[in-house]
Structure 1
Amino acid sequence: MKPILLALAPMAIAAGTALPLAVPAIAAPASDELKAVQDHLAKVNTMTADFTQTDRAGKVLTGKLTLEKPGKIRFQYEKGVPILVVGDGRSLYFIDYSVKQVSRWPVKDSPLSILLDPNRDASKYAKIVPSADPRILSVEAYDPKHPEYGRITLIFARQASAPGGLMLQGWVAVDSQNNRTTVRLNDQKFNVKIPNNSFRFNDPRK
Structure 2
Amino acid sequence: MKRISLALAIAPVIAVLPMAVPAVAQADQSDLTKVNAYIRAVTTMTADFTQTDRNGQNLTGQLTLKQPGKIRFQYQKGVPLLIVGDGKALTMIDYEVRQVQRWPIGNSPLGALLDPSKDLSKFGKVVPTGDPTILSVEARDPKHPEYGTITMIFKRDAGSPAGLQLYGWVALDSQNNRTAVRLTNQRYGAAIADSTFRWTDPRPRGRAAGG
Match of 1:147 among 145, 148, 152: 145
Shift of 1:131: 1.3
> What TM-score results when the alignment is normalised by the length of structure 1?
0.84
Shift of 1:151: 0.1
Describe the superposition over 1:30-54 as per-residue Cα deviations: whole angstroms up to 9, x where unpaired.
1111111111112111111000012
> Could you tell me which residue of structure 2 aligns to residue 93 of structure 1?
91
Match of 1:62 among 60, 63, 80: 60
Match of 2:111 among 101, 110, 113: 113
> What TM-score results when the alignment is normalised by the length of structure 2?
0.82
Aligned counterparts of 1:57 and 1:41: Cα–Cα separation in 2 = 30
> Could you tell me which residue of structure 1 aligns to residue 12 of structure 2?
none
Deviation larger for 59-68 or 175-184: 175-184
> Could you tell me which residue of structure 1 aligns to residue 8 of structure 2?
none
Extract unaligned runs of 5+ from structure 2: 1-22, 207-211
**Matched residue pairs, number?**
181
Aligned counterparts of 2:147 and 2:69: Cα–Cα separation in 1 = 16
> Could you tell me which residue of structure 1 aligns to residue 177 of structure 2?
179
Aligned counterparts of 1:58 and 1:119: Cα–Cα separation in 2 = 34
Describe the superposition over 1:4-26 as per-residue Cα deviations: whole angstroms up to 9, x where unpaired.
xxxxxxxxxxxxxxxxxxxxxx9
User: Does the 8 Å CA contact 2:54/2:177 hold for their aligned counterparts?
Assistant: no
Shift of 1:120: 1.1
Q: Percent identity?
A: 60
Matches within 5 A, 1:1-206: 29-205=27-203, 206=206
Aligned counterparts of 2:88 and 2:63: Cα–Cα separation in 1 = 18
Computed over aligned residues only, the root mean square deviation of the Cα atoms, in angstroms, reads 1.5
Aligned counterparts of 1:40 and 1:89: Cα–Cα separation in 2 = 18
Describe the superposition over 1:59-101 as per-residue Cα deviations: whole angstroms up to 9, x where unpaired.
2210000111111110000010000000111111010001111
Tell me: higher relative CO, structure 1 or 2? Use CA pairs within 8 A at least 6 residues apart: 1
Shift of 1:179: 2.7
Shift of 1:181: 1.4
Aligned counterparts of 1:71 and 1:38: Cα–Cα separation in 2 = 15
Shift of 1:123: 1.1
Which amino acid is 2:27 matched to?
P
